[in-house]
């Protein structure tokens, strides 16, 4: 499979600006995709933010099962994290983010008061891969559409501060991805979930690997239910080929796009691409 790499110019510029602005920020809201909570974590984030408070947000909770949500909650808790689950599209879970951010502001202003300084709004930044729902989350926090939001990577192209209330100022940053995607398994999951730009990959290759991944995870039945073809004894390549033969006039590109879009829009049901790692005893 061809290497998946994507680093458009606006991301390089935004990353430089973000690092400069981080000095002014009190709390970091890290947004990840609930379908791939590990693959959608930026490996350099902790180095950038140091000991600043971080609120971990797993967005698109509506696209995973409640059971899996509880399993992730437990796993992250064991890792010393307290994830907030949201569906930024309909606003579910957003009030808790607001409250947690304001809680960080209380600490900031206690410190300012002790130095004889006046209180000010808490400064938060929203960071995450492209298309994980950062802008939709900000619009929900604001209760109005103030930043551009769409279901594709690379819509936000510059940093902007927005005032949420007298208590919070928020920095909306473009999706940030590593200069080089070292882990190609993670890169594949990002491509399947549309959390990197389409220019980074070939639809047919990604769709084939998606079928293989579902078979490996034991959730290939969603494909059989949707398309009437059982992928269990087929490779992903064979599945795409056969489906194209039987239903799509031999158009494999159309099949690949259809399968990926069906997954991204939730038509395959609540399908996750990652599960909490099981620690070896």
Domain contains 195: no
Q: Is 83 helix (H, G, I), strand (E, B) or coil?
A: coil
Task: Mark whether 75 and 214 lie in a shared domain.
Answer: no
Mean pLDDT of 1-12: 70
For 75-105, the pLDDT digits (tens) are 999 999 999 999 998 899 999 998 898 888 7
Question: In this structure, which long-range contacts are made by residues 81-86, counting pairs with CB atoms below 8 Å and at least 24 apart in sequence?
Answer: 81/56, 82/56, 83/37, 83/56, 83/57, 83/58, 84/55, 84/56, 84/57, 84/58, 85/34, 85/57, 85/58, 85/61, 86/57, 86/58, 86/59, 86/61, 86/133, 86/137
> Across the strands, what pairs with 33?
59
pLDDT band at 158 (very low <50, low <70, confident <90, very high): low
Domain contains 27: yes
For 38-50, the pLDDT digits (tens) are 999 998 899 989 8
Task: Mark whether 209 and 130 lie in a shared domain.
Answer: no
Q: Reply yes or no on whether the pLDDT at 245 is more than 70.
A: yes
pLDDT band at 7 (very low <50, low <70, confident <90, very high): low
> Which residues are known binding-site members for GTP?
59-62, 175
What's the structural domain count of the chain?
2
Task: Mark whether 146 and 231 lie in a shared domain.
Answer: no
Q: Note the pLDDT of residue 147.
A: 52
Distance, CA of 204 to CA of 181 (rounded, Å): 20
Task: Mark whether 209 and 164 lie in a shared domain.
Answer: no
Q: Is 29 helix (H, G, I), strand (E, B) or coil?
A: strand
pTM of the model: 0.89
For 114-150, the pLDDT digits (tens) are 999 888 888 888 899 888 988 888 888 887 666 544 4
> Which residues are known binding-site members?
59-62, 175
For 255-281, the pLDDT digits (tens) are 999 999 999 999 999 999 999 998 644
Rg for the chain, CA atoms, rounded: 20
Q: Reply yes or no on whether the pLDDT at 173 is more than 90.
A: no
pLDDT band at 163 (very low <50, low <70, confident <90, very high): confident
Structure tokens at 46: 């902790």
Contact yes or no for 124/168 (Cβ under 8 A): yes
Residue 80 belongs to a domain with what CATH number? 3.40.50.300
Q: Which domain holds residue 114?
A: 8-172
Judge residue 38's burial from the number of C-beta atoms within 10 Å of its C-beta, 0-12 exposed, 13-18 middle, 19 or more buried.
Answer: middle
Task: Mark whether 15 and 127 lie in a shared domain.
Answer: yes
């Amino acid at each position: 499979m061809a290497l998946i790499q994507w680093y458009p110019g606006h991301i390089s510029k935004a990353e430089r600006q973000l690092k400069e602005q981080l000095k002014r920020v009190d709390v970091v809201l890290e947004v990840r995709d609930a379908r791939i909570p590990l693959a959608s974590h930026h490996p350099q984030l902790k180095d950038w933010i140091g000991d600043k408070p971080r609120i971990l947000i797993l967005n698109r909770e509506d696209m995973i099962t409640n059971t899996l949500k509880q399993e992730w909650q437990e796993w992250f808790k064991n890792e010393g994290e307290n994830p907030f689950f949201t569906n930024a599209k309909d606003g579910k879970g957003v009030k808790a983010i607001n409250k947690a951010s304001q809680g960080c502001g209380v600490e900031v202003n206690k410190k300012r008061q002790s130095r004889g300084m006046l209180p000010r709004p808490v400064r938060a930044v929203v960071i995450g891969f492209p298309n994980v729902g950062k802008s939709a989350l900000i619009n929900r926090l604001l209760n109005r559409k103030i930043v551009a939001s769409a279901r594709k990577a690379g819509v936000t192209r510059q940093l902007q501060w927005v005032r949420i209330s007298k208590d919070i100022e928020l920095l909306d940053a473009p999706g940030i991805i590593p200069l080089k995607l070292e882990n190609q398994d993670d890169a594949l999951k990002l491509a399947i979930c549309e959390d990197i730009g389409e220019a980074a990959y070939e639809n047919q290759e990604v769709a084939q690997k998606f079928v293989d991944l579902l078979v490996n995870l034991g959730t290939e039945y969603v494909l059989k239910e949707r398309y009437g073809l059982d992928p269990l004894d087929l490779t992903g390549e064979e599945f795409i080929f056969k489906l194209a033969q039987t239903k799509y006039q031999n158009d494999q590109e159309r099949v690949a796009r259809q399968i990926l879009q069906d997954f991204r829009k939730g038509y395959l049901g609540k399908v996750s691409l990652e599960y909490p790692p099981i620690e070896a005893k």
